[in-house]
Amino acid sequence: MKYGQHLRENIAPEYGPEPYLNYAHLDGIIRILSGKDLSSADMDSRQVSLTTPAPTNKKGIVLDSATITEEAFISSIDSELTKVEHFTLRKVTDLRNQLDEIEQKLKEISLQDEEETDSLQKLADDVASKFLTLEKYVNLNFMGFHKILKKHDKYCSSAPCKTFYINRMHSQAWVRGDYSDVVVRLSAIYSALRNDQVAEENNDASQSFLRSTTKYWIKTEDVSKVKYAVLRNLPVFLQKTSTGESDSQLTNSVYLDNDQLELYHGRLDKTQGALALRLRWYGAAEPSIVFVERKTHRDKWIGEVSVKERFMVKEKEVQQVLTNTYPIKTKKEKMIKEGSTQDEADDWECLASEITQAISSKQLVPTMRTQYMRTAFQIPFDATVRVSLDTNLCMISERGYDLKNMTVWHRDPNQTIAHNEITRFPHAVLEIKLELKGENAAPPKWVTDLQNSGLLYEVHKFSKFIHGCAVMMPEDVRAVPYWVDDASLRQSIIASGGGRILVRDDMTEQEKKALKLKHPGSGPGANQVYDHLLPFGDIEDNKVNTATGRTNVSKLASKGVIDNSRKYDPSTAGKFGSNFYDDDLEEMEEEQETCMGWLFPFCSPYNNMSVVAPTSVQKIEPKIFFANERTFLHWLHAGITLYSIASAILVFSEDGASWAHWYAMALLPIALGFCMYALHVFLWRADRIKTRIPGRWDDPRGPYVLGGLLVIVLSVNFITKLEQIWDYESMEL
């Protein structure tokens, strides 16, 4: 499907085609320009004459004002950019005005009146739906400008202009504008309609958290849809900035590690008690308050839960924490004087002592920094359900500069960062944190619906710290996480100089073996058993199969099924007409990827495509392997028991031709079948557990077959013995 057709099929009915990029017109200009043999400007001449004839092409034909020239394309591009910008700003203004009306009505109504609250709820839903429609409009045009400019530079290479106009487009308000105020106001409206109750503040000095956390990747174009889905159920945790309240806040975290990357490898291997130590602050300004945080990994299968603990210090005290000179005793006495209980002070002292001693004994220094804009959704002081969304995520190396005896503990933001010292993550990261009562408590329905919406791509145990270290320190890591093989990350990893942790598709087997020996974590097969966990696949060129992620929808899409009424035929993708200007295969694949990106509209008012839930990834704990072993032993025990019974019958049967002999011989193959079945199922299930293959891990047929055979033999024996007793009684009579 070419982009022009894709654009026409996704035009919002309420907008009509007029506000959209006139792709066909620009495409026509390029067709004409690509067929002309235009003369190029003389780059050396610095004088002109006002009395010379008009310029001509190589054929000597004068280029008059009616001839389509390069200026016509430039003028059209300028006009289209202005049109899209004005339309976007007008629509945003209309949405803000509608929010003003809703907020005014909210002050006038009683929240106890269900009819009025339902009416306002529908108005708020309508504003949110229109905002998502506007965002899709922006994305369609944004992609359209990229496509048409790329096509222009390809067929009119004498006058390339893509770089200039892409930079210009990124500076315009319709692209770079921050419309998060719409999200903030919608959140406040929904919160008021829900009548959210603020929980009591927890003043625990150590601020410890016990939660179950699931992490997901989100495509950039789906961020607003996910925000809307969450804020309808949880309020945005507003952040105070220099320009007012915003829905997001810049978050910086400097992670500590030593030269051997001991903490990195511990967190990667998920060893019991593995630590992650970081220094965190909020806001774009230089930090004044810093949180010293420790995350400790605990294995769930032994009944423990991973925990995050932290305490707060002033920026000037960070050096004391890093050099183990922090006055813990003095601080503890001050806490007690200020009203903290003895238990709180003791817990704080224990945490501070353990962290400072770990930094000193393990020789930990600043190693890697994460930086992102975090949007948090939570009822204040209520951690039952907390959702955080991290966008504009990047990881920055904190190695390679003088720490000046720990007086400097993070990179100077005014210094230039080399390309191999920063990596920009191409997706947003969503964390859903649940703190539910009871081991078998289920999450709220809206959380389950969001997980099954097709907008989220679960990445098991994803870590910003691990990803940043693996990409920016490829020579120091002994192993890498499985998700680096995801095709969607390849470009960002290579741009950051971490390409050696990847396995190229064009590598020979000898090169792959050599790479595996030199870098065990990056060699072929290191993450082979986890390839099905990669949200966008591990083959960079397989656009159709990897564009939509690990979902049932993507499996259908890869076969050409878009929805119930439309079917895309991949066989026509490679067929080109006689016109040399048609898009080549590479552009066709890119446009297929673009189309796939819109397979999952959420709350779209004009697209009724059905969404199929992603296949959930099974959670693996050591107790699952133990359960598999216990099941194997139970089946083996049943087989051995049957074999022992059959052997005893054979030993004690007097006549080899008696019924007892045949009964025992019938039990022996069944006993052997139990043992062979136990071994087969054990190995089959162990493989599925190891590779975390989604789906059923039980065998619904085997037990019926073996159990049925055993029941048949026992029934035949019962009937035979019953007949023998009957015959014996008849003879006695």
Q: Enumerate the β-bridge partners of residue 430.
A: 216, 389
The percent of residues above 70 in pLDDT, for the chain, comes to: 73
Kindly indicate whether the domain formed by 196-462 is annotated with CATH number 3.20.20.70: no
Task: Report the pLDDT averaged over residues 504-510.
Answer: 56
pLDDT at 364: 92
Distance CA 6, CA 717 (A): 71
Task: Report the pLDDT averaged over residues 256-268.
Answer: 93
pLDDT at 51: 75
Is residue 645 scored above 50 in pLDDT?
A: yes
pLDDT at 232: 87
Query: 538-547, pLDDT tens digit by residue?
Result: 765 544 343 3
Distance CA 524, CA 502 (A): 9
Is residue 192 scored above 50 in pLDDT?
A: yes
Distance CA 394, CA 252 (A): 10
Indicate the range of 54-58, 117-121, 200-204, 692-696 predicted with least confidence: 200-204
Third-level CATH fold of 1-37+59-195: Methane Monooxygenase Hydroxylase; Chain G, domain 1 (1.20.58)
Is residue 526 scored above 60 in pLDDT?
A: no
Which is more confident, 64 or 682? 682
Query: 221-253, pLDDT tens digit by residue?
Result: 889 889 888 988 888 877 665 555 677 889 999
Whole-model pTM: value is 0.69
Spatial neighbors of 133 by CB under 8 A, at least 6 apart, are 12, 14, 15, 604, 605, 606
Spell out the domain ranges in the chain.
1-37+59-195, 196-462, 622-732
Paired sense of beta strands 457-458 and 212-218, if any: antiparallel
- Residue 149's pLDDT band (boundaries 50, 70, 90)? very high
Query: 367-382, pLDDT tens digit by residue?
Result: 999 999 999 888 876 6
Q: Please say whether the beta carbons of 543 and 532 come within 8 A.
A: no
Domains 1-37+59-195 and 196-462 share a fold: no
CA dihedral sign of residues 269, 427, 250, 169: positive
Task: Report the pLDDT averaged over residues 476-480.
Answer: 88
Task: Report the pLDDT averaged over residues 592-614.
Answer: 36
CA angle 365, 370, 376 (to 5 degrees): 130
pLDDT at 650: 81
pLDDT at 726: 81
Task: Report the pLDDT averaged over residues 252-265.
Answer: 93
Distances (CA, A) of 317 to 252, 323, 578: 17, 10, 72
First to last CA, the chain: 91
